[in-house]
Amino acid sequence: MTLRPLVIACLLIAPVFYTLAASAPATGRLTDSQEKPVYGTTSQPQLSGTVVDTSGALISGATVLVRSANGAVQLKTESDTNGSYSIPRLPPGKYLLVVSHPGFETKEIPITMETNEPSAPLGITLAVSSVSTTINVQGREDDLIGIASSATQGTVGAKEIEDRPILRSGEILETIPGLIITQHAGGGKANQYFLRGFNLDHGTDFAVFLDDMPLNLPSHAHGEGYADMNTVIPELVQRLDYQKGPYYASIGNYGSAGSANLLFFKTLPQNFLLVEGGMYGFARGVFGVSQKLGSGNLLYGGEAYYNNGPWTHPDAFAKFNGLLTYSQGDNANGFSITARAYHGKWNSSDQIPVTAVPLVGFFGTLNPTDGGNSQRYSLQAEWHRQHGDSATKIVAYGFYYDLDLFSDFTYYLDDPIKGDQFEQKDRRWVAGIDAHHTISSNWFGRRVGNTFGLQVRNDWVNNGLYRTQNRVRTNKNDINACNAEPIDACNTNPDLMAVLPADTDVNKFTDTMVGFYVENKMQWAEKFRSVLAFRGDDAIYNVTSLT
């Protein structure tokens, strides 16, 4: 009976004695470079604390690493918005605690993790780094105040174009806010454009210019206003001026949604040669050289491009571009002469019905002969002059264009024997001139600018729509004849296969467009300006049907 109270007393006193012994302070004063014992209360101790700077301010986002004796990273975390960090489940042993944050000196603290001891928070103080880091930020600024007619026009510089990865030449237009391009029938076909949610087809409502020379093609065999950007070498574009909206008098036809004018280098900052390659047979080489020639500057460049794409039947899109420019003068007075050449050929996967996907695959095609070839050769001359309060600019141009586009949307719906493939043919010669003269003056103490412009363009066009099989033109009346004959007869009767013309719809015509505009800009007050303009257009067509 006398032992029972003694046993109870021992059990009560033992934890107190153990706690006092375990919490006894270590001998000596520890510094940050010395080893610090950190205790835990379980077999897997926890390391936690707060990260602050020398002023006591909390540091969030500090990286906290725990390295083992051999240098391997065991655990990693970051301090939260309160500067707190926590690293659980560390086995007993010796570690190196590494704490870092941009702008602060990195701190390394040797620690020892022990078991079955009460944990103690480990506060960490980081000093501001004495090594300064300089970050250079380069940008381009255009002050369009008093120049831009609206807030929906702007300029994209060469640096923005250089920093943007471009797979297709048309993607350069995606630097325009709100504009998206797609490609739906092989790389050589003109892109499809979307601006502000509107479908602009291949350029029907979006005007594109190359150094003020129009790219859009009226009365095109495939689509009105067809604008093929494949003739552009992106590395040679110095600036892109864009306008959104239909209220710019100088744009005229195809500008109901907006416009873009690509201005090319006359002298390069430095000569360059670029060779690149990638998946799906992608390969590209491009170069540009500029040098002094007499009293002017000569610039020439070229591009060779090839890409198969992910398709089962490769796109085999091959194109070649060349540009040659001679220029004299400066931005105020001068002239330039530019020659461009483009040739491309490609295959097209075209669209396939959903029911055909299990048969040919998602990247397959039902007609591997779809595709086309295109070429464009142009020559233009530009002259500009400023004298006093007036400025004049004249651009004259001419080019040859040729397209053969083979498509098959319905396969064997109309012609179960030869299929429904068709060819859209467009061949034309184009000549035109764009001239404008601006006079600046003061009316009753207010700054005024009056611009008078004249635009004349003539297209001599041969285009047509043909039935084809494997890109070979066939008899347009074969379908009607075969409907009245047995199928075998259609395959063997030479009278049905050879005697009738192969065309479906062929036209030869001239398309003449004349535009005249007058624009008045007046600065009424510092923050108020008016723009008043008038434009008149006349189109003359002379069509001869060859069907």
DSSP string, 451-495: EEEEEEEEEEEEEEEEEEETTEE--TTHHHHHHTS-HHHHHH-HH
Q: Read off the pLDDT of each residue in 418-423 and give the average, rounded to a whole number.
A: 90
Q: Read off the pLDDT of each residue in 73-78 and give the average, rounded to a whole number.
A: 82
Q: Read off the pLDDT of each residue in 481-508 and give the average, rounded to a whole number.
A: 51
With a cut of 70, say whether residue 5 has pLDDT above it. Answer: no
pLDDT band at 81 (very low <50, low <70, confident <90, very high): confident
* pLDDT, tens digit (0-9, with 9 covering 90-100), for 87-105: 876 777 888 889 999 888 8
Structural Rg of the chain based on CA atoms: 37
What's the confidence (pLDDT) of residue 340?
Answer: 98
d(CA 362, CA 353): 10
* pLDDT, tens digit (0-9, with 9 covering 90-100), for 298-338: 999 999 999 999 999 999 999 999 999 999 999 889 999 99
Q: How many CA atoms lie within 13 A of 252 on its CB side?
A: 25
What's the confidence (pLDDT) of residue 10?
Answer: 44
Q: What percent of the chain has pLDDT over 70?
A: 81
d(CA 354, CA 380): 47
With a cut of 80, say whether residue 147 has pLDDT above it. Answer: no
What's the confidence (pLDDT) of residue 23?
Answer: 34
For the chain, give every domain's residue range. 33-126, 153-545
Reduced to 3 states (helix: H, G, I; strand: E, B; else coil), residue 48 is strand
- Name the more confident of 253 and 518: 518
Phi, psi of 343 (to 5 degrees): -145, 135
Residues near 227 by Cβ (< 8 Å), separated by ≥ 6?
A: 190, 191, 193, 202, 203, 206, 208, 215, 216, 217, 254
- Per-residue H/E/C for 54-72: CCCCECCCCEEEEECCCCC
Nearest CA-CA partner of 342 in 169, 92, 118, 469: 169
d(CA 161, CA 139): 13
What's the confidence (pLDDT) of residue 308?
Answer: 94
Nearest CA-CA partner of 211 in 322, 326, 392, 338: 338
Let me know the angle formed at the C-alpha of 541 by 540 and 545, rounded to the nearest 5 degrees: 170
What's the confidence (pLDDT) of residue 144?
Answer: 54
With a cut of 70, say whether residue 479 has pLDDT above it. Answer: no
d(CA 335, CA 332): 10
| Full strand arrangement of the beta sheet holding 198-199 | 179-182, 192-195, 198-199
With a cut of 70, say whether residue 483 has pLDDT above it. Answer: no
d(CA 397, CA 89): 76
- Name the more confident of 411 and 287: 287
33-126 to CATH, choices 2.60.40.10, 3.90.78.10, 3.30.830.10, 2.40.30.10: 2.60.40.10
Six-digit token string for 420:
């429904």
Q: What percent of the chain has pLDDT over 90?
A: 50
d(CA 542, CA 537): 17
What's the confidence (pLDDT) of residue 502?
Answer: 54
**75 exposure class (CB count in 10 Å sphere: 0-12, 13-18, 19+):** middle
pLDDT band at 131 (very low <50, low <70, confident <90, very high): low
With a cut of 50, say whether residue 520 has pLDDT above it. Answer: yes
Residues near 481 by Cβ (< 8 Å), separated by ≥ 6?
A: 475, 490, 496
Q: Read off the pLDDT of each residue in 103-131 and give the average, rounded to a whole number.
A: 79
d(CA 49, CA 26): 20
- Return the amino acid letter for 340: R
With a cut of 60, say whether residue 18 has pLDDT above it. Answer: no
Specify the pTM. 0.71
Give the DSSP H/E element, type plus range, for residue 198: strand 198-199
pLDDT band at 40 (very low <50, low <70, confident <90, very high): very low
pLDDT band at 68 (very low <50, low <70, confident <90, very high): confident
What's the confidence (pLDDT) of residue 525?
Answer: 85
With a cut of 60, say whether residue 229 has pLDDT above it. Answer: yes
First and final CA of the chain: distance in angstroms? 128
Residues near 516 by Cβ (< 8 Å), separated by ≥ 6?
A: 453, 454, 455, 535, 536
* pLDDT, tens digit (0-9, with 9 covering 90-100), for 355-374: 989 999 989 999 999 999 99
What ranges in 226-302 are assigned the alpha helix state H? none
Per mean pLDDT, which of 21-30, 183-192, 364-373 is the most reliable?
364-373
With a cut of 90, say whether residue 413 has pLDDT above it. Answer: no
Q: What is the mean pLDDT of the chain?
A: 83
